[in-house]
């Protein structure tokens, strides 16, 4: 009988210790899932890329930043097309107004952009040239007028030779040339949101 009493007392001590150990394990998992090391940088003219950036933010957290130029592009579609063509031909990199302090603290960097001239937009080239992303995981995402990513994803790899580049995501957005601007709403938004979630799960990057 005395042995049984000792046994029961021992069990009472073991249970709290086990519970504390489990709580500690759970705490470690939660800390590991914190998204303080995630940065989402995007360029968006008609807000479609911005909408995808916000969907990613909802799933992974972190910090989200819109790229802005010191001298904004013209509003007129034909004028911006002509300017971007010239910048691509000459290799000109437009100066950025956006400044990201202590970028080294981020381990995972999403970069989002539309397809311009079937290439990576010059402002995103400016960003990838200005900041050293060596040793970081870089994940591109894109919206386009239906013609795909062009050479943009390959250019990301070229400008980030010391980074780990994961599989990118692309979807059709607006067609500014035809006067079709923001389309990430209603059923289109639901469709893209589901695709983004599946994509992030496939990369094993979630909150």
Query: What is the tens place of the pLDDT at every residue in 95-130?
Result: 999 999 999 999 999 999 999 999 999 999 999 999
pLDDT for the residue 8: 37
The pLDDT of 54-59, averaged and rounded, is 98
Its pTM stands at 0.83
Inter-helix orientation angle 48-60/186-203, to 10°: 50
Q: What is the DSSP letter of 84?
A: H
pLDDT for the residue 112: 98
pLDDT for the residue 26: 32
Using alpha carbons, list the distances in angstroms from residue 51 to 26, 35, 141, 150, 158. Answer: 33, 20, 11, 21, 26
| Residue 207's pLDDT band (cuts 50, 70, 90) | confident
Please state the domain extents for the chain: 1-32, 33-203
Higher pLDDT, 60 or 11: 60
* Domain 33-203, CATH number (from 3.40.50.360, 3.30.465.10, 2.60.40.10, 3.30.300.180): 3.40.50.360
Is the pLDDT score of 176 beyond 60?
Answer: yes
Cα 76 to Cα 156: distance, rounded to the nearest angstrom: 27
Q: What six digits make up the tokens of 202?
A: 């496939």
């Amino acid at each position: 009988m005395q042995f049984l009493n000792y046994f029961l007392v021992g069990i009472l001590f073991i249970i709290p210790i086990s519970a504390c150990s489990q709580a500690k394990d759970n705490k470690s998992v939660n800390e590991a899932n914190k998204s303080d090391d995630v940065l989402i940088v995007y360029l968006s003219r008609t807000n479609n890329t911005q909408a995808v950036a916000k969907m990613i933010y909802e799933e992974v957290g972190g910090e989200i930043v819109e790229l802005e130029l010191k001298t904004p592009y013209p509003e007129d579609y034909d004028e911006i097309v002509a300017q971007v063509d010239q910048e691509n031909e000459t290799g000109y990199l437009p100066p950025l107004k956006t400044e990201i302090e202590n970028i080294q603290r981020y381990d995972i960097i999403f970069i989002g952009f539309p397809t311009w001239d079937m290439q990576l937009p010059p402002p995103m080239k400016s960003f990838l040239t200005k900041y050293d992303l060596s040793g970081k995981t870089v994940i591109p995402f894109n919206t386009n007028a239906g013609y795909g990513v062009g050479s943009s994803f390959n250019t990301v790899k070229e400008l980030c030779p010391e980074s780990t580049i994961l599989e990118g995501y692309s979807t059709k957005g607006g067609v500014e040339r035809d006067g079709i601007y923001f389309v990430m709403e209603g059923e289109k938004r639901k469709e893209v949101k589901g695709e983004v979630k599946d994509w992030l799960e496939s990369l094993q990057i979630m909150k």
